[in-house]
């Protein structure tokens, strides 16, 4: 009997000695029960009060500890988690991974035991590449979304970190595994949990420790716990610049990174602020107008992206918070190319099938501007567009430069030619570029002057796979810049500078670094832009060689003498950077020389170009207009094509004029009080042999004169100008509301102004 009892005890002991160990809910017959100690912790004075970085909000608090045991210090790191209601250990891990961009995880979600934690990592320097290689595949690395890289099997041993200096441990069957230790406020010490994090119910004061067992050894929980420092994932979007990215076609939709203070790079800032939403497929253009950021993509969505929600061909965001305002899949039936702000109520969308109006106030896509469409997607597409103080200039493939009057949205002229891009210089002159020509376009008369480019300085654009191009300008110097071209498919390694004042070229102003290796740095996308405030040149490059080489990306910063100031290396990824965009922080400034009151003794002209400026935008491009006129019966006011405020006395009286200065969507208004003692006939303003009838009228106003009518304008009682067009000596005023109006007619000999009444 004693022998039988002893044998039973031995069998019982052997069973428990060799019993299976449960790891995150999975029974493991390959692990010994004695490989997990009852308690592993050493004495530590660390408390919840010592935690620095807290994630979440609520009245309940828990500690989250990760101990890598990889001989990289500091090792055991601690975060804090706050919540209300109910929360699991999985909720805590995911919340921290989503918020702290240094922390990342490899998860197998949806198992019968919940979510399996296969790997945990931490970017120790805060600047490296956060991501994984699966089985050493460097061509197709895996990057976390909300701090998570997903797998669909217990294949955790296959994964390694992109940055070997990161904390990273992963395993299941050959390298080791993550053991899970928990402690609640009533517990004296930590207990091993065979359940997964999905089954762990947190209570106020809980502690969770993920302790890696390298080579299936079970280290003690460290007595040295290090609180993780606070990490700011939110940049100040007024201090730095944006880099809009095409992204990896077939894998991810477009994105935007931000280079902030101290050269810290914030990745996918739009996605971070909009629950993993992105732009459309192949985002090639971005611009800030007013308080909004307009992102234009070629297509509405990349069907291969399973990580980010696509946003459409046009996505509008708040320029200072990156919070989404609205997205559009359809922008008139074509693919997206560009956007330009016209005034505070109107923008133009450049597309593969023409230029479409966009209602900024009501966020609605309008109709195509007559004459801007035509041609196939890759034979008649619209490229870059600029807004001068008077007109919009747009490049259309194979057609030339289209000039549009924004007051009427009418195409007024086309300058024929094979142009690639267009900019405005500091002095207000407009410049378009061809293969081996710079073409100067007068911004008001549209006359052109050509300047030849050599083979060394040629610019061969890319209409076939359109991008915004490197042709750019300085806001501080009267200078233009671009990257030279070897052929239509290959960009050169030189930055060319053109002095607008002296009309001289510097063929080798800057040479791109990294030209001495097998794989050279090459510009990509628009590649080159100039900071409007600092006058520094921002040049983005990638690595030649195709394939995995495109994961290597740099941003070089130069001063305006061509000296290299800094180089930043981006996290490895197929960003395919498209264009750099600078924040618009400053309002236009109206000088004290602008009068607040004036008395008319005749026609007066005030040059508005000399009284307004803007630190971060071209002063010559500021749009000047008259928002209101309190007494147009006394004073007629208009802004002419030379940006002059023209004041013409009509009758005795006082008029308060509200003058608007719009600089890239940021508006400042000034009031000018004008006193008119009497009607002052001058050589510029006088009556001519002209009659209008019937007056009053309900629909048609006949205009009779022997002179050639050049321009007809109607002004209402507030001084607001109303579009008017004379046809066969008649003016249709049927659409006007009842009231008093002023009709102004400019002929080849004189100016005529008369009141009429719409019944």
Same domain for 711 and 754?
yes
pLDDT digits (tens, 9 = 90+) for 255-274: 999 999 888 899 999 998 99
Element (H, E) at 4: helix 2-17
Q: Has residue 287 been placed in a domain? A: no
Same domain for 167 and 29?
yes
Q: Has residue 195 been placed in a domain? A: yes
DSSP states along 715-756: E-TT--EE---EETTEEE-TTSPSEEEEEEEEESS-EEEEEE
Specify whether the CB–CB gap between 357 and 369 falls below 8 A: yes
Decide which of 676, 703, 727 is a domain's last residue: 676
Report pLDDT for 682. 42
Specify whether the CB–CB gap between 397 and 379 falls below 8 A: yes
Report pLDDT for 9. 37
Same domain for 694 and 672?
no
Specify the residue for token string 């309002």: 587
CA 167 from chain centre, in angstroms, equals: 32
Report pLDDT for 34. 56
Q: Has residue 706 been placed in a domain? A: yes
Decide which of 161, 192, 227 is a domain's last residue: 227
- Domains in the chain, number: 3
Specify the residue for token string 């796979």: 465
Cα–Cα distance for residue pair 287/338, rounded to 1 Å? 9
Q: Kindly report the pTM of this predicted structure.
A: 0.80
For residue 667, the enclosing domain spans 589-676
Report pLDDT for 689. 61
Report pLDDT for 231. 76
Report pLDDT for 741. 85
Q: Has residue 129 been placed in a domain? A: yes
Sign of CA dihedral 645, 614, 392, 428: positive
Burial of 490 (0-12, 13-18, 19+ CB in 10 A): exposed
Same domain for 81 and 189?
yes
Report pLDDT for 621. 96
Going by their DSSP bridges, the two strands 255-259 and 241-245 should be labelled as: antiparallel
Same domain for 614 and 735?
no
Decide which of 208, 227, 246 is a domain's last residue: 227
Cα angle: 460, vertex 488, 579; to 5 degrees:
65
Same domain for 650 and 705?
no
Residue spans of the chain under pLDDT 70: 1-20, 33-43, 127-128, 232-233, 678-689, 749-750
Report pLDDT for 38. 53
Cα–Cα distance for residue pair 21/19, rounded to 1 Å? 6
Same domain for 188 and 79?
yes
Q: Has residue 30 been placed in a domain? A: yes
Same domain for 672 and 694?
no
Cα–Cα distance for residue pair 650/635, rounded to 1 Å? 5
For 200, 502, 622, 640, 666, the CA distances from 447, given in Å and listed in that order, are 75, 19, 21, 18, 30
Q: Has residue 472 been placed in a domain? A: no
Secondary-structure breakdown of the chain: helix, strand, coil percentages, each rounded to the nearest 5: 10, 45, 45
Q: Has residue 646 been placed in a domain? A: yes
pLDDT digits (tens, 9 = 90+) for 579-631: 999 999 999 999 988 999 999 988 999 999 989 999 999 999 999 999 999 99
Same domain for 128 and 198?
yes
Q: What is the CATH number of the domain that holds 650?
A: 2.60.40.10
Widest distance between CA atoms in the chain: 138
Same domain for 595 and 706?
no
Same domain for 147 and 221?
yes
Specify the residue for token string 């030379």: 642
- How many CB atoms are located within 10 Å of the residue 206 CB? 23
Specify whether the CB–CB gap between 109 and 198 falls below 8 A: no
Beta bridge partners of 431: 423, 440
Same domain for 46 and 188?
yes
Report pLDDT for 218. 87
Report pLDDT for 127. 65
Q: Has residue 526 been placed in a domain? A: no
């Amino acid at each position: 009997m004693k022998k039988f009892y002893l044998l039973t005890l031995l069998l019982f002991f052997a069973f428990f000695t060799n019993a299976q160990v449960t790891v995150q809910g999975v029974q493991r017959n390959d692990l010994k029960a004695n490989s997990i100690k009852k308690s592993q912790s050493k004495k530590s004075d660390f408390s919840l009060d010592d935690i620095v970085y807290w994630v979440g909000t609520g009245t309940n608090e828990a500690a989250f500890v990760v101990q890598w045991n990889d001989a990289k210090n500091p090792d055991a790191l601690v975060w804090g988690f706050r919540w209300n209601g109910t929360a699991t250990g999985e909720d805590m891990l995911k919340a921290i991974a989503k918020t702290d961009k240094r922390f990342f995880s490899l998860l197998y979600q949806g198992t019968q035991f919940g979510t399996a934690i296969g790997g945990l990592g931490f970017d120790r320097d805060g600047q490296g590449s956060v991501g994984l290689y699966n089985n050493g595949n460097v061509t197709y690395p895996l990057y976390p979304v909300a701090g998570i890289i997903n797998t669909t099997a217990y294949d955790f041993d296959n994964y390694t970190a992109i940055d070997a200096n990161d904390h990273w441990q992963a395993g299941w069957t050959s390298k080791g595994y993550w053991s899970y230790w928990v402690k609640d406020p009533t517990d004296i010490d930590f207990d091993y949990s065979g359940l997964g994090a999905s089954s762990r119910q947190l209570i106020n004061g809980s502690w969770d420790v993920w302790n890696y067992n390298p080579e299936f050894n079970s280290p003690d929980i460290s007595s040295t716990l290090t609180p993780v420092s606070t990490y700011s994932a939110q940049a100040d979007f007024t201090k730095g610049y944006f880099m809009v990215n095409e992204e990896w076609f077939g894998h991810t939709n477009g994105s935007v990174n931000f280079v902030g203070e101290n050269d810290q790079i914030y990745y996918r800032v739009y996605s971070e602020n909009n629950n993993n939403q992105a732009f459309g497929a192949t985002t090639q253009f971005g611009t800030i107008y007013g308080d909004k950021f307009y992102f234009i993509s070629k297509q509405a969505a990349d069907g291969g992206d399973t990580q980010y929600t696509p946003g459409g061909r046009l996505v509008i965001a708040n320029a200072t918070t990156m919070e989404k305002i609205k997205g559009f899949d359809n922008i008139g039936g074509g693919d997206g190319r560009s956007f330009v702000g016209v005034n505070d109520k109107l923008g133009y969308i450049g597309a593969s099938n023409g230029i479409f109006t966009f209602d900024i106030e009501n966020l609605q896509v309008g109709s195509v501007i007559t004459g801007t469409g035509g041609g196939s997607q890759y034979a008649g597409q619209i490229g870059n567009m600029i807004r001068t103080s008077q007109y919009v200039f747009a490049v259309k493939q194979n057609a030339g430069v289209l000039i549009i009057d924004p007051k009427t949205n009418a195409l007024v002229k086309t300058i024929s030619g094979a142009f690639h891009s267009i900019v405005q210089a500091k002095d207000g002159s407009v410049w378009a570029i061809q293969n081996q020509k710079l073409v100067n376009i007068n911004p008001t008369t549209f006359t052109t002057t050509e300047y030849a480019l050599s083979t060394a300085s040629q610019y061969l654009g890319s209409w076939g796979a359109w991008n915004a191009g490197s042709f750019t300008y300085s806001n501080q110097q009267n200078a233009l810049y671009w990257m030279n071209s070897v052929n239509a498919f290959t960009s050169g390694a030189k930055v060319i500078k053109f002095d607008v004042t002296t009309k001289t070229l510097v063929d080798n102003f800057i040479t791109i670094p990294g030209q001495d290796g097998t794989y050279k740095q090459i510009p990509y996308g628009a590649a080159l832009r100039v900071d409007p405030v600092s006058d520094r040149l921002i040049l983005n490059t990638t690595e030649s060689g195709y394939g995995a080489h495109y994961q290597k990306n740099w941003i070089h910063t130069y001063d305006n003498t061509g000296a290299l100031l800094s180089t930043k290396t981006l996290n490895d990824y197929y960003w395919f950077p498209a264009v750099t965009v600078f924040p618009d922080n400053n309002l236009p400034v109206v000088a004290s020389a602008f009068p607040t009151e004036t008395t008319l003794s005749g026609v007066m002209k005030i040059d508005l170009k000399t009284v307004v400026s803007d630190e971060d935008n071209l002063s010559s491009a500021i749009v000047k207009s008259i928002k209101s006129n309190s007494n147009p019966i006394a004073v007629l006011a208009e802004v002419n094509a030379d940006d002059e405020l023209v004041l013409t006395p009509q009758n005795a009286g006082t008029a308060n004029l509200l003058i608007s200065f719009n600089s890239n969507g940021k508006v400042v208004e000034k009031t000018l009080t004008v006193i008119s003692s009497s009607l002052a006939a001058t050589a510029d303003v006088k009556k001519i042999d002209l009659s209008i009838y019937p007056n009053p009228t309900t629909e048609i106003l006949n205009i009779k004169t022997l002179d050639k009518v050049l321009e007809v304008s109607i002004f209402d009682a507030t001084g607001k100008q109303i579009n008017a067009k004379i046809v066969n000596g008649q003016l249709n005023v049927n659409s006007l509301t009842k009231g008093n109006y002023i009709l102004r007619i400019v002929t080849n000999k004189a100016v005529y102004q008369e009141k009429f009444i719409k019944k």
